[in-house]
Structure formats: C-alpha cells, structure tokens
C-alpha cells in the first residue's frame, strides 16, 4: 500500500466506501424509516440534487486512488434506482475494486442476473424474520418473506456468493426469530449475520433496552447449535465470526452498540446528494457535489477528500459507550446504511 495515502487523527486509513444511491425505499422498517414519524411520505431529495451515475463513478475513481478498495451500494433501497446495473458497469471498470450491494431483497429475484452480468460481486440481503406476521410488521409494507427468500436463492444461483443475510435484532419485536433464522440458514452456504439495533437517525426513537447484545445472540444459538469463534478475515472487520462446530457453516454478529469498533473504522460514506460523511453518526457532511458541479478537476477533489479524512476524529460509538450525548443525527436511508 502506498505510504502517501491519507491517515486520520486516530491512525486509521480509508478502505470501504458506502454509497447511498437513493434515499427512497419501498419498506418502512420500524428501526429505519418508521411510519410513525412521516407516514409513507418522507421528505425525499428532488431528482436534480441526486448524484448521477457518471458523477458517482468519477468520485469513486478518486476514492480508489486514495486507498478505497471496497464499494458497497446501499440506500434507501438501491434497487429502486432505475438501471442500477448501469452504475455497476461503470464501477466495474475501476481496477481492483470489490463491488457489493445491500438490499431488502424485494427486487432481487428479478434483477440478480443483470447485476451479476454488470460486474457486481456479492450481495447482502436484509431479512428480519421468517414468521410472516413478524416480518410484515418489521417491514411495515406488507411485503412477504417468500419474496426475500426468492431473492436470496436467485442471487446465490447467479453467483453473487457467498450471500450474506442481515437480521437487525430488536428486543420484543423480532428477537424470537433468532433461532428460526439460524435453523433455516444453517447448511445453506449463506452467512447469517445478527446486527445490534443501533441509534442511527432520530426517527426510530431508539432505546437501549431494545438492543439485544450480540453476546446474548451467540449464547442463544450456541445453546442449540454449539459454536466456536473464527479468526477475522482482515483487521477492522466489523462482524465477529462464529462457526457451527458440526460444520454447518458460519454466522456473524455485529456488536456496534455493545462493543464499539471505532478504533479500526476505515469506512467513509457518500450520501445520495453527494455529501461525504466520515461516520454513520456524523451530524454534518462535506459537499463533494458542489465541487463536482463547479467543474473541479480530479486533483482538487482528491485534495478535498484527503483533507477531510486527515482531519477525521470520529469515534461516536466509543462516546456513546461512555455516556456522552449526541445532537441531531442523520437518517440511515440518506447517509447509506
Ligand atoms: C439502511 S439499509 C439500506 C439497504 C437496504 N434497503 C436494506 O435494507 O438492506 C442497510 C442496512 O442497515 C440496517 N439498518 C437500518 N437501520 C438500522 C438500525 N437502526 N440499526 C441497525 N441496523 C440498521 C438494515 O437492516 C440493513 O441491513
Ligand atoms: S432498512 Fe433498508 S429496507 Fe428497511 S426501511 Fe431502511 S432502507 Fe428500507
């Protein structure tokens, strides 16, 4: 790795870029875009404020030259953005980039083949319950479990593997689904990951007592299917890996609340309207779209990104653990989950 790549004030480098390609979604997950706040009508961005695919590809090239090696397209629901395979094809031209996508799975069965053909490498699919009533209550859009399961199987069939399946665990809402999901995906080749319910944004009215600690998830599964820890794939990996002792595959837990991983955080986020956020819990972003649309050259954009990263001091989850309150936060659908 070249030595002149930017390093932040805590010694961290930039490695993963998450891009929110749309702030819109067809689901209203209770922990992300609950109807209780805006109903179905969230204040979405007007079209001309959204980065075009060409603008996104241009900044990604600059990020790649600054050390970013992995790009995840997310949102909102990324598959709601028209012709997303066109963006994937543009990004696939950039050398050495790992290209992934996070989706609620509702359009995946129909789109997986074109995404793969365009150059997408892997997908992560969110699925919070197998029980029909609980899943529909979680997505609050009356969307059936079968649609997501079909998306997962199609993704695997076209080679977007290994498919990761993310379950956000909210106590009292879907924690009874931990074991049914574990049973379902054991032996499937897909990697099920349990995510602690996080205090992102303000809409979800997060409470600590609704978080199920990752350690409790591991204990509950281990009691039925004995588990053993697996070494991380790389330093800074957020998911803690476990495997079934009987060889039926692996699971992950993401303990973003109970075990802050700020110290190793190499993530940077680009919002739908082209603002750069150096933390999921940041209160403001840096406007790259203004630079792009003002006609700045690649060197000027690179210098701006390097300057922002070098000044970075974010460690919100450590502060939360220490009880320090935080002001208004940005919604996850906009900043990119
Ligand atoms: C914001 S979504 C965007 C992509 C896509 N719509 C989806 O649901 O996969 C990305 C991921 O963030 C997770 N997420 C959203 N709100 C969360 C919260 N409050 N705590 C933990 N994870 C959350 C979702 O479950 C999903 O796995
Ligand atoms: S988690 Fe994903 S699917 Fe659910 S509301 Fe948020 S963006 Fe939509």
For 127-142, what is each residue's pLDDT tens digit?
999 999 999 999 999 9
pLDDT for the residue numbered 127: 98
Structure token digits, residue 329: 């936060």
Structure token digits, residue 78: 């990324």
Ligand nearest to the CA of 170: 1
pLDDT for the residue numbered 192: 98
Whether residue 256 is predicted with pLDDT greater than 60 in this model: the reply is: yes
Greater confidence, 207 or 201?
207
Whether residue 235 is predicted with pLDDT greater than 70 in this model: the reply is: no
Confidence band for 317, pLDDT divided at 50, 70 and 90: confident
Give the residue, by CA position, lying nearest to ligand 1 atom 8. 104
The percent of residues above 70 in pLDDT, for the chain, comes to 95
Give the residue, by CA position, lying nearest to ligand 1 atom 2. 337
User: Rounded to an integer, what distance in angstroms lies between the CA atom of residue 232 and that of residue 297?
Assistant: 38
Among 126, 199, 261, name the best residue to mutate to test ligand 1's pocket (greatest count of ligand atoms within 8 A of Cβ): 126
Whether residue 24 is predicted with pLDDT greater than 70 in this model: the reply is: yes
Whether residue 329 is predicted with pLDDT greater than 70 in this model: the reply is: no
Q: Work out the average pLDDT over 208-223.
A: 97
Whether residue 247 is predicted with pLDDT greater than 80 in this model: the reply is: yes
Kindly state if the Cβ of 135 falls inside 6 Å of ligand 1: no
Structure token digits, residue 125: 């699919």
Q: Which residue has the tokens 């209550």?
A: 137
Residues 6+ apart with CB under 8 A from 208: 257
Q: Which residue has the tokens 């840096």?
A: 286
pLDDT for the residue numbered 292: 96
User: Rounded to an integer, what distance in angstroms lies between the CA atom of residue 320 and that of residue 325?
Assistant: 7
Query: For residue 21, what are the CA distances in angstroms to 80, 274, 328?
Result: 9, 9, 23
Kindly state if the Cβ of 204 falls inside 6 Å of ligand 1: yes
pLDDT for the residue numbered 214: 96
Q: Work out the average pLDDT over 102-121.
A: 98
Whether residue 16 is predicted with pLDDT greater than 90 in this model: the reply is: yes
User: Rounded to an integer, what distance in angstroms lies between the CA atom of residue 169 and that of residue 178?
Assistant: 8
Q: Work out the average pLDDT over 180-204.
A: 93
Ligand nearest to the CA of 42: 2
Residues 6+ apart with CB under 8 A from 336: 18, 19, 20, 72, 74, 75, 269, 270, 271, 272
Ligand nearest to the CA of 257: 1
Kindly state if the Cβ of 25 falls inside 6 Å of ligand 1: yes
Q: Work out the average pLDDT over 248-255.
A: 96
Query: For residue 58, what are the CA distances in angstroms to 14, 39, 77, 233?
Result: 17, 35, 22, 29
pLDDT for the residue numbered 325: 67
Worst-scoring range by mean pLDDT, 80-94, 165-179, 246-260? Answer: 246-260
Spell out the alpha helix ranges (H) of 119-232: 132-139, 145-158, 178-185, 214-224
pLDDT for the residue numbered 37: 67
Whether residue 334 is predicted with pLDDT greater than 90 in this model: the reply is: no
pLDDT for the residue numbered 72: 98
Chain length of the chain? 337
Q: Which residue has the tokens 């980039």?
A: 97
State the distance from the centre of ligand 1 to the C-alpha of 167, rounded, in angstroms.
9
pLDDT for the residue numbered 164: 98
Greater confidence, 88 or 323?
88
- What letter does residue 177 receive in the DSSP assignment? G
pLDDT for the residue numbered 326: 63
User: Rounded to an integer, what distance in angstroms lies between the CA atom of residue 83 and that of residue 246?
Assistant: 42
Kindly state if the Cβ of 198 falls inside 6 Å of ligand 1: yes
Whether residue 66 is predicted with pLDDT greater than 80 in this model: the reply is: yes
User: Rounded to an integer, what distance in angstroms lies between the CA atom of residue 152 and that of residue 166?
Assistant: 11
| Average pLDDT across the chain, whole number | 92
pTM for the model = 0.94
CA pseudo-torsion sign 69, 74, 78, 79: positive
CB of 244 closer than 8 Å to CB of 226: yes
CB of 118 closer than 8 Å to CB of 92: yes
Distance of CA 8 to the CA centre of its chain: 22
pLDDT for the residue numbered 108: 98
User: Rounded to an integer, what distance in angstroms lies between the CA atom of residue 67 and that of residue 102?
Assistant: 22
Kindly state if the Cβ of 121 falls inside 6 Å of ligand 2: no
Query: For residue 246, what are the CA distances in angstroms to 41, 68, 190, 243?
Result: 48, 37, 16, 9
Q: Work out the average pLDDT over 286-302.
A: 96
Greater confidence, 337 or 10?
10
Residue 276 host element (H or E):
strand 275-277
Q: Which of 111-125, 229-243, 255-269 has the highest mean pLDDT?
A: 111-125
Confidence band for 28, pLDDT divided at 50, 70 and 90: very high
Backbone angles phi, psi at 48, to 5 degrees: -75, -10
Of ligand 1's listed atoms, the one at least distance from the Cα of 332 is 1
């Amino acid at each position: 790795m070249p030595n002149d790549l930017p390093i932040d004030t805590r010694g961290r480098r930039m490695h993963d870029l998450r891009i929110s390609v749309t702030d819109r979604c067809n689901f209203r997950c209770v922990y992300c875009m609950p109807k209780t706040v805006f109903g179905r009508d969230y204040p979405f961005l007007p079209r001309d404020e959204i980065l075009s695919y060409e603008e996104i590809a241009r900044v990604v090239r600059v990020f790649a030259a600054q050390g970013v090696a992995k790009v995840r397209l997310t949102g909102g629901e990324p598959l709601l953005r028209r012709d997303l395979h066109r963006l994937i094809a543009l990004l696939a031209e950039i050398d050495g980039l790992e290209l992934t996508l996070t989706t609620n799975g509702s359009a995946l069965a129909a789109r997986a083949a074109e995404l793969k053909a365009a150059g997408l490498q892997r997908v992560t699919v969110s699925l919070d319950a197998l029980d029909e009533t609980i899943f529909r209550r979680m997505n609050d859009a009356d969307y059936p479990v079968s649609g997501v399961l079909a998306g997962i199987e199609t993704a695997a069939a076209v080679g977007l593997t290994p498919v990761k399946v993310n379950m956000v665990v909210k106590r009292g809402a879907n924690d009874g689904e931990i074991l049914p999901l574990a049973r379902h995906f054991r032996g499937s080749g897909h990697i099920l990951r349990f995510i602690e319910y996080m205090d992102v944004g303000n809409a979800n009215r997060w409470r600590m007592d609704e978080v199920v600690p990752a350690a409790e998830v591991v204990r509950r599964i281990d009691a039925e299917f004995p588990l053993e820890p697996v070494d991380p794939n790389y330093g800074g990996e957020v998911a803690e890996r476990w495997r079934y002792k009987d060889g039926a595959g692996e699971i992950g837990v993401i303990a973003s609340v109970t075990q802050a991983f700020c110290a190793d955080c190499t993530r940077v986020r680009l919002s739908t309207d082209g603002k750069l956020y150096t933390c999921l819990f940041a209160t403001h972003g840096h406007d790259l779209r203004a630079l792009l649309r003002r006609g700045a050259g690649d060197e000027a954009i690179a210098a701006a990104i390097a300057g922002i990263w070098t000044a970075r001091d974010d460690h919100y989850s450590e502060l939360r653990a220490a009880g320090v309150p935080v002001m208004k936060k940005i919604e996850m659908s906009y900043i990119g989950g």
